[in-house]
Amino acid sequence: MGLDIGAVEFDKKVRAPGSAEPDGTLLFDDGSIRDKVQLGDDPSHTETAPDPAVLAAVRGLLSICAPALPAHTDDWERRLLADPNLLGDIAFAIGGPFHVMYPSRVAVNINGFQQVFEQAGVDGVVYFGKKANKAACVARACAEYGAGVDVSSAGELNAALAQGVRGDELMVTGPAKSDDLLWLAVRHRALIAVDSLDELDRLAAFTTPAAAARVLLRVLPNGSTSRFGMTAEELDRAISVIGASGTVGHESIRLQGFSFHLSGYDAIARAEQADELITRCLDARTLGHPAGTISIGGGFGVDYVPASAWSEFTDHANGQWFHAGKSFDSYYPYHFPAPGPAMLTAALEHNALAQRLRDNDIRLAVEPGRALLDRAGSSVFRVQGSKTRHVEGHPYQLLTVDGTSLSLSEQWFDSEYLPDPMLWPPRPGELTPTCVGAASCLESDMLSWRRIPLPRRAEVGDLLIYPNTAGYQMDSNESAFHELPIPPKVVLHDTGDRLRWTLDAG
């Protein structure tokens, strides 16, 4: 049983407020200086609490420290952290920062979306947004578990094919695609999301009656200022030339349907846009086009941290928690109550979208990136330097690790990656507010500006494991700046009695 005194809860261990895992935010165990206090109405029920000086010191530390934001974890992550040797052996072999991938979790995430389609009775297909992570093991998991891959370059297309994804399981997206990409897409019978009229004209040059192109037309949603997609007038012009003969027609292009992408994570907005495109498909069918597919793109949220921890952070966030008084205007919604497959369910249930898709024999495509990588990887950095700094008279630790924030990409979108890193190996100690800097000459190169409540003081040689980084964090901004090595990806394999590792083939 604990005793609440102000913002601090005591139960032999003093915990940071908002912590979902008390043993992850240990301040200290100071039983020798506790005084007995009565709990509730029972005089015989007593507990110990720190003396006023200790309490003041605790409150001082907590005032400069961000509340804990512990990430949701899977069994494989807990096994990795609990193994006394595996992380250290990998770190020794790599000799620098590295990313850990667990493709079996990708399979679980793919299945989650597939089950939603099955339960709704909807013909659906999942395409992994490859830009979210270029690990070969992810594309291989897609090939093995029935997902396609969404690619936007010749390099991504070739990498997907190399891992067993078939050409007709590819969707090719992006604006103003290169001629090489269009040629390869036609050769492999990939589904091509055409972004503009001039792209449609260029595509036609690579088609023949024996090698027709399968296309979706990307729609610019009403009211959108996006640079992507086509207006209603442009869509009508495209439809008029697709499949048409003559000098202005594109006889060897087949209109399979329409696609769109929306910013943000609103399931209802996606459902309503998809509903509008059902009507477009039906209209196109009256003109002789097959038009049986709608892609609603990606943007499926991920739930990184518990609701209580997220509320504690967002309700009270202030510059006092951050090194140098740093502040950010916005953050990714790290708590997402209806993530991934649940968000797809919400879209299908809105205004009976699933029923309309079934009634009109239309396939729904989704292109999740981050959501297929949820809990499928982590990033590991070695502590190679430490300083003590003070703010308002209270000490905190300022670390330097052996990589850069180019391998934790959220910082390069003028934001902060908020799920707390975990310190390995686990040892007892006192809570230490800690900021994490990178191994570059840039003042702005920080992995964590906020003071994280690490369970003990980090030492040189310790490892910091940033959880759930497979989605966009690992490699969307990676660089060999300073000629530092780009962190390799390590793939974990569960052999039943233990985890084993190999280097990713990518």
Specify whether the CB–CB gap between 70 and 77 falls below 8 A.
Answer: no
Q: Which of 51, 58, 52, 50 is closest to 25 using CA atoms?
A: 58
> Helix-strand-coil percent breakdown of the chain, rounded to 5?
35, 25, 40
Amino acid 452: pLDDT? 97
pLDDT of residue 49: 56
Task: Please say whether the beta carbons of 16 and 308 come within 8 A.
Answer: no
pLDDT at 352: 98
What is the chain's mean pLDDT, rounded? 90
pLDDT at 48: 55
What 204-209 contacts at long range (C-beta under 8 Å, 24+ apart), as own/partner pairs, is 204/250, 204/252, 204/253, 206/179, 206/182, 207/250, 207/252, 207/253, 208/252, 209/251, 209/252
Per-10-residue mean pLDDT, the chain, length 506? 34 34 36 34 52 75 93 98 98 98 98 98 98 98 98 98 98 98 98 98 96 98 95 97 87 97 97 98 97 98 98 94 94 97 98 98 98 98 98 96 92 91 96 95 94 97 98 90 91 96 95
The pLDDT value given to residue 31:
32
- Residue 40 structure tokens: 């509730």
Give pLDDT, residue 7. Answer: 36
| Residue 80: other Cβ atoms inside 10 A | 23
In angstroms, rounded to a whole number, what is the distance separating the alpha carbons of residues 398 and 457? 10
What is the pLDDT, as a whole number, of residue 44? 54
The predicted structure's pLDDT at residue 5? 32
